Structure 1
Amino acid sequence: MTAAILVHASRALLDEKTAWLETLASERNASAHTIAAYERDLRQFLTFLTAYHARPAMIADLADLKTADLRAFLAERRRGGAGARSLGRNLSGVRAFIKHLEKKGLASAAGARAMRAPKAAKGLPRPLAVDDALEVAEEAGSFAVEPWIAARDVAVLTLLYGCGLRISEALSLAGDALADPTLRAMPITGKGGKTRIVPLLPAVLDAVADYRRLCPFPLSASEPLFRGARGGPLRPQIVQRSMARLRGALGLPDSATPHALRHSFATHLLAAGGDLRTIQDLLGHASLSTTQAYTAVDSDRLMSVYRSAHPRARRKA
């Protein structure tokens, strides 16, 4: 709370700010990181109001805050280089504080509620190259001490890349899943309870069979297929940690996450001539527009290849 010594608000307003932050910590059990972020957002807003009114900000300035005031604040932050995500977080912090004042009868949050956060542009999926994705699946167990854990890690990452599963979908498989080596497809229930049919490659079945053979815990229908070291359900954080080690060992970028294997599944299918509608079904996307993001990824890759390989593209002007 050292920022309170800065002259950017009246004493009464700074006292309310302190009380609000203390409420977040004591009653809402907010983390230190969250409290620090809210403090920073509010400090930036109060500093803006000081310049906006050419005097220290006061509670009265927030008593009936207009959307025009908030738009001016966000415009100032944008001029300073803040992106849409940062602006949305700034607005969220200011709203939360004004709601605190509203509960005490000191302000109205109507203007803040009416203000819409800037929409953040959706980033394109960042898939791995084909060779990198294959190497990740093959080397997934390199850091495991026990053979069964090595086989488990290989099976999980092979499922993500070979079937395009979300990590939550792979880890929710029941213990009797994929026990039949003759299976050619399996149902997967994804977001919103939507079920899709996912084809199974021999490499996926082989990887899971190796894991099943080595796993020291009984794999029944009432238990999860993938287990942690002590036999409990495997947590996503463990898979993410294994992937982080692989990134370092294989020299891959930070974008090489478990979810990037799902992106890779879709992008590599599309590059090989896969139909967009079929890929939508395989991924379990409710909307085709979500799947269409992969066409932009593939177009970027094709243009990169064109610019580096086509004789006319390489010609100097």
Structure 2
Amino acid sequence: MTVDTKIQYSRMAGRLIDHVANGTTDWAEGTMEVPSTEYTDAEQWQREMDCIFKSLPILVGVTQEIPNPGDFRSLEILGIPLLITRQADGSAKVLMNVCTHRGMQLTSEPCGNQKLFSCPYHGWTFKSDGALRAIADAPKFGDVCEGARDLVQFPCHEEGGLIFAVLDADSDVDIRAYLGAMMDDVAKKGMDQWTYVGHRIIHGPNWKVAYDGYLEGYHFKAAHPETIEPRTFTNVMEYDAHGPHQLVGFAAKNVLELGDVDRDELWQHETKGFDFIRLFFPNVSIFIAPEITQVAQMIPGPGSDGKHHHFALSASDPARERRGRCSAHRDGGLAA
């Protein structure tokens, strides 16, 4: 963590202590009303998909879903079938899960381990890096220029246990630059070495409704009376922007116990009196706790629908892993 980040986090924690002591929160300048059409208008939704989700880096998976060479995960985002694969050199690739011959989906399996993918229609075979390896009955098919029919590959970047991609094969967006200083912080948490515990899919509302929920703690007492509210104050928050991304701070019920801590050193006490949620715009929320971390991946559906993937990672001994990655993906369960 850089000196500037330590200062920023310490100042946020200090403001949370002050809010609890003074009965305040991080106020906006005034009340804002948002028309419901912002969440339901079909034309606006399409603009959001074109200008945000198909143009900016988005989370497509977590490292621990595909830890070993040959591992893969398949999913669909915005109607685009994706195939995320782990290479022999340890790198990840994000490919279109579509045969370049006649557009057939290569695999319907949610995950697994294999070096080759064969199209179930005409038998074209591709390597896990997307290269076309073989054309069925090639002598009778005709000439195909080498590389001309490899799988479509999307720009991607993997760091800190997270795999981001831009769903535009021709994009020149610098993914790492976009993720910025917040990724520096997340990468130092070592989530790429944590144990994959489970995965759950929640079918929910428009992506902005879900994103809004991670931005506020006003709902804690009513919505989470037995889980979050007993340890965290309702409607006591602090916000800091990291470019398009946000760090949101929440005060725990014991935050005043940090009153005697040097304010410049408060950054070291995360989860011991306050919690941070890290949001990478537009579709990632990360809550890091001492023993368990939740990564939420918000995937827009058509119109007002949405799908939210929740991944649980554990920092403790791998023996705590209760369920294999594939079984978790197949039944949508989450063991935590």
Task: With the length of structure 2 as denominator, give the TM-score of the two structures.
Answer: 0.25
TM-score, normalised on structure 1? 0.26
Larger relative strand fraction: 2
